[in-house]
Structure 1
């Protein structure tokens, strides 16, 4: 059983994907070809914002968003310690200081109620993560009055109070890594905003800070998304609404099937949904449970085994008990839009046996 079934997805979309790729091979515009603009227009319309700027990866999206805000070295950015390293990596690469705020124990998203106490005169931005596919408490975070960059690498397609993830704050940043809810066949990402000035800054930054050819008006990076990868995402958009419906249904079915087991299911707030980039739950004695699932042929993953304030590159002497407890207990089960009921039943049966 695959952890994420990209082969089944390709089989369903093969005709469209192959045709889209062939079109790029035929016109030969591999960098900033027409598919780039087409994808940006369609994604902006999907999210409901004025601007989409495609970039080379989700990591690049976060970095470019930070660079667009013209922050100064040593300025502070508040974020969560329970996320993939890219969230904090980009803050440090931009010469900024990450300030950690602990997570909610039931959702694993940043605890918005604790952010205000972490704000200092040097705080310049907040970077919440929409972990596992569920948006954080964006209204409460936006109300603090600072620029907000939503790290939506795992939540593209999710909804929050009737609006789409990536369209909820100063910047929305997502990833098209193959395993994401909307993925390409390599690295790719996108930024979303309603701010004309920030959008123009991001477009310049992604091409080495150029406002015109060989006119470098700001510090930039080589951050463009390849035309071929844009073509793949355009093909995948054809059934993306169906895939989101499937992810919501499969996630709800997992939650129901697990209701009587001694596990902690993640809380999904009433005013939002979760697109389950990973279907994650929490268990005691995780090494034993994971080992028994492996023996039963069920692939699993740990998202994430050590919070970032305990990682050597980003270590800080701060107390983050909820993040540390989650890191010891989270485990992710097979999840994709093509997961069948029979496969899901097999996973749950194996988990039931592993917990006995």
Structure 2
């Protein structure tokens, strides 16, 4: 059994994917060109945003936004404590300081009440200047963006939506990657929409920001790539990956997001009352990058993971450590008491196999083994 079955997806769309790849090779247009431009237009149209700028990966997408916004040493950027390392990494890379915030115990996303406390504490201390909030759409579920936007306006902060896991989700029909002042996503193969390598994208409605980002991603180019007007980076999505994504985006829109939500419902029917299943607030729709359950304690979680492994069922722990306890951030001074929810989650979460191509029989098998261990 596959945790995220990319092989099944490829077999279903093999002819279209192979044909698109061969067209790129035949035309020998390996960087940029028509295919990349068409993909960007399709992504922007799907999300409902004016500009999409593709780039090398999701981490560089956030890095480019930090560069475009001039985030620097002395700035504070508010980041959830329960997420993948790159969300905090890009802040430190820019020279700014990540200020970690505990998360909601049900949604796993940044706790907006604790976010306001962190902003006020930062202002009161006076050592850093609050500049940006980076809410993460964790496991496919959009963060509480409307509350976050209210808070951003209240304290004059920018919002960068990290939609690496959330692409395809929505709040009352408004799609992930359309919130905040800018948004980013990742096309890492295991993401809801993934390519066959690394890839990422930035979304914005701001014309000036889009122009600046397009310059920064290609060595700070001016009118052409040999007219360099600023210091930038080399961060482009290659054309073969764009060709693959064009096929996969159509499948994603046509059926994959709907199919993965059906899988979520089937798991819930079988596991509700046995374990704590994912919570989706009213009006929210998840793209289910992960199906994450909560156990009673670390011993039970680790025991279940080992039991599943005996039956050759893969599972994953996202995440083993809170961000504030990462060695890379050890110079920052944090009190564990401020992160009780995150610390607790790291001991009890377990993600089960989920993808649009998992069979009902496989869902039943996983569910039955979970029940066998727990009941």
Query: TM (normalized to structure 1)?
Result: 0.97
CA distance in structure 1 between the partners assigned to 2:62 and 2:162 by the alignment: 7
1:155 aligned counterpart, secondary structure: coil
CA distance in structure 1 between the partners assigned to 2:163 and 2:137 by the alignment: 5
1:243-254 to structure 2, matched below 5 A, reads 243-254=256-267
CA distance in structure 2 between the partners assigned to 1:303 and 1:209 by the alignment: 36
CA distance in structure 2 between the partners assigned to 1:37 and 1:14 by the alignment: 23
Indicate if the aligned counterparts of 1:208 and 1:221 stay in contact, CA closer than 8 A. Answer: yes
1:119-198 to structure 2, matched below 5 A, reads 119=119, 120-121=122-123, 122-144=129-151, 145=153, 146-198=157-209
2:318 equivalent to 1:303? yes
Moved over 6 A (4+): none
1:185-264 to structure 2, matched below 5 A, reads 185-211=196-222, 212-241=224-253, 242-261=255-274, 263-264=275-276
CA distance in structure 2 between the partners assigned to 1:330 and 1:218 by the alignment: 44
Q: Which position in structure 2 is the counterpart of 1:352? A: 371
CA distance in structure 2 between the partners assigned to 1:110 and 1:219 by the alignment: 33
1:273 is aligned, of 275, 282, 285, to: 285
Structure with the bigger percentage of helix? 2
Indicate if the aligned counterparts of 1:298 and 1:350 stay in contact, CA closer than 8 A. Answer: no
Q: CA deviation at 1:353?
A: 1.2
Q: Number of paired residues?
A: 355
1:60-79 to structure 2, matched below 5 A, reads 60-79=60-79
Q: CA deviation at 1:214?
A: 2.4
Q: Which runs of 5+ in 2 are unaligned?
A: 124-128
Q: CA deviation at 1:215?
A: 2.5
Q: Which runs of 5+ in 1 are unaligned?
A: none
1:124 aligned counterpart, secondary structure: strand
1:15-94 to structure 2, matched below 5 A, reads 15-94=15-94
2:340 equivalent to 1:321? yes
2:183 aligned counterpart, secondary structure: strand
- CA displacement 1:223-253 (0-9 Å, x = unmatched): 1111110110001122112000001111122
CA distance in structure 1 between the partners assigned to 2:158 and 2:291 by the alignment: 30
Indicate if the aligned counterparts of 1:186 and 1:229 stay in contact, CA closer than 8 A. Answer: yes
Indicate if the aligned counterparts of 1:158 and 1:165 stay in contact, CA closer than 8 A. Answer: yes
1:191 aligned counterpart, secondary structure: strand
CA distance in structure 1 between the partners assigned to 2:349 and 2:230 by the alignment: 42
1:143 aligned counterpart, secondary structure: helix
Q: Which position in structure 1 is the counterpart of 2:115? A: 115
Q: CA deviation at 1:296?
A: 1.6
| Superposition CA RMSD, Å | 1.1
1:148 aligned counterpart, secondary structure: strand
CA distance in structure 2 between the partners assigned to 1:339 and 1:198 by the alignment: 40
Q: Which position in structure 1 is the counterpart of 2:327? A: 312
- CA displacement 1:73-92 (0-9 Å, x = unmatched): 22010010111111111111
Query: TM (normalized to structure 2)?
Result: 0.93
Q: Which position in structure 2 is the counterpart of 1:290? A: 305
2:201 aligned counterpart, secondary structure: strand
